[in-house]
Structure 1
Amino acid sequence: MNSYNILVVEDEKDIALAIQAYLVNQGYKVFIANNGVEGLDIVENEEIHLAIVDIMMPKMDGIEFTMKVRLEHDFPIIMLSAKSEDIDKITGLNIGADDYVTKPFKPLELLARVNSQLRRYKKFLVMKQDNIVNKDIFTIGGLELDISTKEVSVDGNIIKTTPIEFKILQLLMRNPGRVFSADEIYESVWKERAVNTDTIMVHIRNIREKIEVNSKNPKYLKVVWGVGYKIEKQ
């Protein structure tokens, strides 16, 4: 009996139920969502080990769903699409998907992909567990963030941050070099759709004044004009 939870995000009910039947027959526990919005809700409330995600869906498609999941989760994602164009495959894999299956697919093919991804994920979890002492600490140059103690330090000196500042720094330091738009930061930190993101600019400025020696010539927290913000790789 498998102890893995699999999320199926698919708006075509017949396909979703068929996939569920195949997976349950293999001993997996399956959750079904009709679109990306429902899928994100399940991800936030259940421990998911793998997701099978359709690309074309109403409300929130598979691409946007995957991008949002990858802000905080690292479980494997297998994308489904009725299209076979290379551009879909490249887009899906570039935004964080691990594998890609084109509809119509053979059940045994999908199951093989699921089992393969879960084997890899199991190895990843074991490695992560072995490194559990340090997994909550992110270090970029002299900047260090400790999730377990909620402390941020620069060159060994503890600096005081607000809970929101800490969450923003955590998001950026978990993904050094990646540029996040103000909308992405807002939605990840506040867990709601971004409406007015002016507050992000204020928080970024405050963080910069605390972690940078010279906030006008920052070493860590950079602005990519017209795009967003990032923590520079050191």
Structure 2
Amino acid sequence: MTILRVNQISKTYRAQQKNIQALNAVSLSIGKKEFVSVIGPSGCGKSTLLNIIAGIERPDQGDILYMDQSVTGKTGLFGYMPQNDVLMPWRTVLDNVILGLELKGVPKGEARQNAEHYLESFGLIGFQHKYPGSLSGGMRQRANFLRTVLPEHPLLLLDEPFGKLDAITRRHMQKWLMKRWEELQVPVLLITHDIDEALFLSDRIYMMSSRPGSIKKMITVPFDRPRNSEIEYSLTFMELKREITGLLL
């Protein structure tokens, strides 16, 4: 069952007295309980696409359909985790992760109680009363993700959530995200530049061209779930990685 359709989205910016086309007729879809990734070269408009789906920006052309209803330009419908760390340094981890619930009008006490049920599975037990400055990069991203998850949005939009982490921490976080997603079963759209990450996590991968970004190819990832690291040593994984690398060049 398809829950989200991105239909022929185009976007052009005006910069330094020039028109710069970021996206050209981009279309994709996301199914119920599906993990979909978008991968492409730097500057191809991946983050712009996510911002449009989130309602932060409006397209020049095209439409965003959720359950066959237009939601173009509407914010707050989907959980959105941007690239940059958005934890507030003056709030504890617990008070950071409940921010989305507070914005929805949930009383602080009830929101804290709700969040506490997730602290163990998100690896934050013992750190809920600390401030973001005392956390590791991986732990900050866990807190960011919990804040995205708590309001129970019907779709999660993740913009390169592990891009700024070191390689070892990033691998741990990818495995952790896989486990959390298998528990939550919420559809996810992930923006990434990491081919291994996209193949390890995704059901399908959309390949974008260089700017102006358009969809070059959609790749179905054939690995069964649950997955483990062994798939990365398989011939199929290596062949898909080679194909994706060739499309990015």
- Same fold (TM > 0.5): no
Which of 1 and 2 has higher RCO (CA within 8 Å, sep 6+)? 2
Higher helix share: 1
Higher strand share: 2
TM-score in terms of structure 2 length: 0.29
* Larger Rg belongs to: 1
